[in-house]
């Protein structure tokens, strides 16, 4: 876990926040509240019981033990910054509780159940992904109303929708394979990503496609031409694959191109590629023309994905964009523009690759804000 696992914002700020509450602290915290974790493939951490409800129950128990009051079914509609009393504005002490605290509150919070006043507000509303969970983008509007800059948002960790006429994905729903995706922006490769790709009836999903989605979408919002190609032979170049075909033809001239290709990629993918390229799958390697061989090699290392969009916020696992990181103090997560306002998690212009990284950003930034609030109220 490091700042290299994240995009957006400034890496130096991300690094500082992550180091304040690293993964080891996360593991220890959950163990202390009764949720021991185990590591699975790719470094992902899951509760030993593999039940999400056990995580929820433990967090609710811990919140109750800490004296937290939860108000469900209540929506915040507006946050207004109040003019502080003269003695507070001049640096005088601010009482943490009691009637004087209410009188000296920095914020008036309008809710669907009436008005609240508070000395500090933490915006931890999430971004816009999976709006049915509550993260519908309302937090961005609240932050903007308090003077913050919102870096334009897009879905992140979303599946790619491909042109319905594309011959490949229509033939391969449910097939998974390891690939390398190259995202080109303005004609140059901006990033290469490797991992599992899952072909679907609408396009491409799986970890590598979901990681690529944010880069394609950011280019779209910036009105920059973008495209994605897939290599079915990760880490290998055209000349290397072409030479492999030549060697194979010399070693086994009677072997069919279908059999040879199926040793390199899943059989279903081999059949779909040959059909898309109009190459007879029964042809022997000895009779495979140079042109057909090179077209097949090019397809293996640089097959274009005709991306027409993603599935949108209702399916995306994260949000790219948000409150500009330069407008918060990374030592406290407090706003540099609005004292007493703290911003954490996906509210900020930080999004991580798939694999639990966005959770860790939420834990780390939340811890930094909580620690700072504790000191300010002590």
Residue range 285-343, pLDDT digits in tens: 999 999 999 999 999 999 999 999 999 999 999 999 999 999 999 999 999 999 999 99
For residues 365 and 132, the model is more confident at 365
Mean pLDDT of 107-130: 95
Mean pLDDT of 162-169: 90
* Predicted local distance difference test score (pLDDT) of residue 84: 63
**How far apart are alpha carbons 322 and 197 in whole angstroms?**
28
* Predicted local distance difference test score (pLDDT) of residue 169: 87
* Backbone torsions φ then ψ of 111, nearest 5 degrees: -130, 170
Domain boundary assignment for the chain? 3-32+72-154+319-377, 159-311
pTM for the model stands at 0.88
Coil, strand, or helix at residue 361? Answer: helix
Question: Domain 3-32+72-154+319-377 belongs to what topology?
Answer: FAD/NAD(P)-binding domain (3.50.50)
When the pLDDT of each residue in the chain is averaged and rounded to a whole number, the result is 92
Percentages helix, strand, coil for the chain (3-state, rounded to 5) are 40, 25, 35
Angle of helix 11-20 versus helix 357-377 axis, rounded to 10: 70
**How far apart are alpha carbons 105 and 111 in whole angstroms?**
16
What is the percentage of the chain residues whose pLDDT exceeds 70?
95
Coil, strand, or helix at residue 93? Answer: coil
């Amino acid at each position: 876990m490091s700042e290299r696992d994240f995009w957006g914002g400034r890496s130096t700020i991300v690094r500082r926040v992550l180091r304040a509450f690293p993964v080891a602290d996360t593991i220890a915290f959950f163990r202390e509240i009764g949720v021991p974790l185990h590591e699975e493939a790719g470094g992902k951490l899951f509760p030993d019981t593999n039940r999400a409800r056990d995580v929820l129950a433990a967090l609710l128990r811990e919140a109750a033990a800490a004296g937290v009051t939860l108000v469900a079914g209540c929506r915040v509609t507006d946050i207004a910054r109040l003019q502080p009393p003269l003695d507070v504005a001049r640096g005088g002490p601010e009482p943490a509780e009691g009637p004087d605290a209410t009188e000296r509150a920095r914020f008036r919070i309008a809710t669907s159940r009436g008005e609240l006043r508070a000395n500090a507000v933490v915006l931890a509303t999430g971004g816009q992904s999976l709006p049915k969970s509550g993260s519908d983008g309302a937090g961005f509007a609240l932050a903007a109303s308090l003077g913050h800059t919102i870096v334009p948002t897009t879905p992140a960790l979303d599946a790619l929708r491909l042109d319905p006429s594309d011959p490949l994905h229509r033939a391969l729903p449910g097939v998974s394979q390891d690939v390398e995706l190259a995202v080109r922006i303005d004609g140059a490769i901006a990033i290469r990503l490797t991992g599992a790709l899952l072909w679907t009836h609408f396009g491409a999903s799986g970890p590598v496609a979901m990681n690529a989605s944010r880069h394609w979408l950011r280019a779209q919002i910036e009105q920059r031409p973008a495209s994605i190609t897939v290599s079915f032979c990760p880490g290998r170049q055209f000349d290397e694959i072409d030479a492999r075909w030549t060697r194979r033809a010399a070693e086994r001239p009677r072997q069919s191109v279908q059999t040879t290709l199926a040793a390199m990629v899943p059989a279903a993918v081999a059949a779909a590629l040959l059909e898309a390229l109009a190459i007879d799958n029964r042809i022997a390697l000895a009779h495979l023309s140079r042109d057909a061989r090179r077209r097949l090699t090019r397809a293996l290392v640089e097959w274009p994905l005709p991306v027409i969009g993603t599935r949108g916020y209702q399916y995306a696992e994260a949000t790219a964009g948000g409150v500009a990181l330069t407008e918060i103090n990374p030592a406290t997560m407090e706003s540099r523009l609005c004292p007493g306002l703290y911003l954490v998690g996906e509210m900020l212009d930080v999004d991580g690759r798939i694999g639990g990284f966005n959770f860790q950003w939420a834990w780390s930034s939340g811890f930094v804000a909580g620690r700072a609030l504790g000191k300010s109220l002590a």
